[in-house]
Structure 1
Amino acid sequence: MLKAPDVILLVDDDAAVRNSLKFSLEMEGFSVRLYPTPEALLAEDELPAGSCLVIDYRMPEIDGLELVERLRSRGVTLPVFLISGRVTRSLRARASGLGICDVLEKPLADLVVSIRRVLDARP
């Protein structure tokens, strides 16, 4: 049996995408906490251990990469999955430089597989 994280923290400014992903991830046995903006996530004092982040790349004000940079500067080392409607080599390279586990293109057929692979490999 694969071990699920305590919670998946999902940041996406599109309510339809947030709710759809929440439903899909919960159907796979994950607990999901939703954030409509990067600022909402950054307002959290502490993020749950054992969790992972699923972050949309294109959002107003702060994009997904900048959000990850801010989290890393605060010492947050949780696994991150970046999602985008259009994935380029440049985006993958920039994401890799931030230690992002995977960059996935919408639609997100492989999201659950990627999350389980990374989380199950942790010590």
Structure 2
Amino acid sequence: MFTGPNQEGRPVAGEAGTVLVVDDDAAVRSALKFLLEVEGLDVRLYDGAPALLADACLPVRGCLVIDYRMPIMDGLQLTDQLRARKVSLPVILITGRVSDDLRRRAARSGVRQVLEKPLSDGALVEGIRSVLATAA
């Protein structure tokens, strides 16, 4: 694995941590993996809350990109479960519909950012880099 900055001066995969993407939509997971890996980020994909919670080897450094609307457990419930398990990775919540109420509840759960789908590639990458930089 590379350890220095890439040609654009950005950290390469693994240096800043791993981005954990949790979304029940396979097409969204695939698109986000492609986008983030092109940006030099290390990415892990999960198809829902149970898959992430079953992973006994979560990274210490990185961040989570979690879809709000998922079956079994929504993104805020998952965030609360992770906090109860002492997982302190920063969270970016993605959703098809943002409301003031959702933003307030997300803030209470410790979510760093709430982004609306369809996602702007630039906004997502910038948001991830921002939370990774402040978490380092």
| TM-score, scaled to structure 2 | 0.86
Distance 1:62 1:122 in 2: 26
The counterpart of 2:103, out of the listed 92, 100, 111, is 92
Once the two structures are superposed, residues 15-63 of structure 1 have per-residue CA deviations (whole angstroms, 9 ceiling, x without a partner) of 0000011111111111110001110000011310111100000001100
For 1:112, the equivalent position in structure 2 comes to 125
Matched residues in 2 for 1:122 and 1:18: separation?
23
Q: State the partner residue of 1:13.
A: 24
Are 1:46 and 2:57 an aligned pair? yes
SS of 1:103's equivalent? strand
Structure 2 CA distance for aligned equivalents of residues 87 and 46 of structure 1? 31
- Runs of 4+ deviating beyond 3 Å: 1-4
Which stretch shows the higher mean deviation, 111-120 or 8-17?
111-120
State the structure with more CA Rg. Answer: 2
What runs of 5+ residues in structure 1 fail to find an aligned partner? none
Query: Which residues of structure 2 form unaligned runs of 5+?
Result: 1-8
**What is residue 4 of structure 2 aligned with on the other side?**
none
SS of corresponding position for 2:115: strand
Give the structure, 1 or 2, with the largest relative contact order (CA under 8 Å, sep 6 or more).
Answer: 1
Secondary structure of the structure 2 residue equivalent to 1:53: strand
Deviation at 1:5, TM superposition (A): 2.5
Say if 1:5 and 1:52, in contact at 8 Å, map to a contact too: no
* RMSD between aligned residues: 1.2
| Distance in 2, Cα, partners of 1:119 & 1:7 | 9
Aligned length: 123
CA distance in 1, matches of 2:16, 2:66: 16
Q: TM-score, normalised by structure 1?
A: 0.94
The aligned counterpart of 1:83 is 94
Offset at 1:11?
A: 0.4
User: Is the contact between residue 2 and residue 116 of structure 1 (CA under 8 Å) also seen in structure 2?
Assistant: no
